[in-house]
Structure 1
Amino acid sequence: MRTAPRLHTMLSLEQAVGGAPSLALLQERIRTSQHCLQLVRPLIPPALRQHVKAGPIQDNEWCILVASAAASTKLRQLLPAMQQVLIQNGAQVNAIRIKVQIAAR
């Protein structure tokens, strides 16, 4: 039995995400996390900024990914100021978690 030929249509990532509600929700969470990082970035010492990445945000808890335990320690000192900046800018973040992300070799 022969099936009708399929048309192979190329979709942009935006189009694919727009057609899948679960992907759209994931994309929104990624944008929110990146926005949070942009809000607190001025508080992070310049030498440390390259070692900090926006991590997942879930249930109003935002995770910051860092490259080392030393970076984690320094960021923990900044958590109260970061939380204040997020609140002042209307971010719906009740807690910030810092996770050391070990680079793959």
Structure 2
Amino acid sequence: MNVRSQHQFTLLQASENNPGLAKLMAQQKASLSRLRAIEMLIPAPLRPFVKSGPFEDGAWCLMLSNNTTAAKLRQLLPTFEEKLRATGLEVTSIRLKVSRQP
């Protein structure tokens, strides 16, 4: 029987040794912090339909579950951008993407 030594790493440890993974984790953290900053501006009934999406080079994407949510959030984009500026989490743009789920 071949006994293999197994090393377990946390995601944080793995990211410290992998620049690509570290970059992805930083982008995810930046995206989540922006969502948390604007979360209270999203009408409560719509919050379950909004997820943070990719954040790269200042452009941020919100992933939405349906077109109704997209229509309402499109109206709120200037308010979101103002809130993000006020909290020091500026973005160059916010994109809304409806993800069709089966």
With the length of structure 1 as denominator, give the TM-score of the two structures: 0.90
Q: Secondary structure at the match of 2:55?
A: strand
Give 1:60 shift.
0.6
Q: 1:52 aligns with which of 50, 54, 71?
A: 50
Name the % identity: 36
TM-score by length of 2: 0.92
Question: Which blocks of at least 5 consecutive residues in structure 1 are unaligned?
Answer: none
Where does the alignment leave 5 or more consecutive residues of structure 2 unmatched? none
Which of 37, 46, 50 pairs up with 1:39?
37
Partner of 2:7: 9
Q: CA RMSD in A?
A: 1.3
Which runs of structure 2 are paired with 1:1-105 in the superposition (5 Å)? Answer: 7-103=5-101, 105=102
Deviant stretches of 4+, over 2 Å: 5-8
- Residue by residue over 1:23-42, the C-alpha shift from the partner in whole angstroms, topping out at 9 and shown as x without a partner, is 01110000000000000101
Deviates more, 1:9-18 or 1:32-41: 9-18
The 1-side partners of 2:11 and 2:56 are apart by: 23
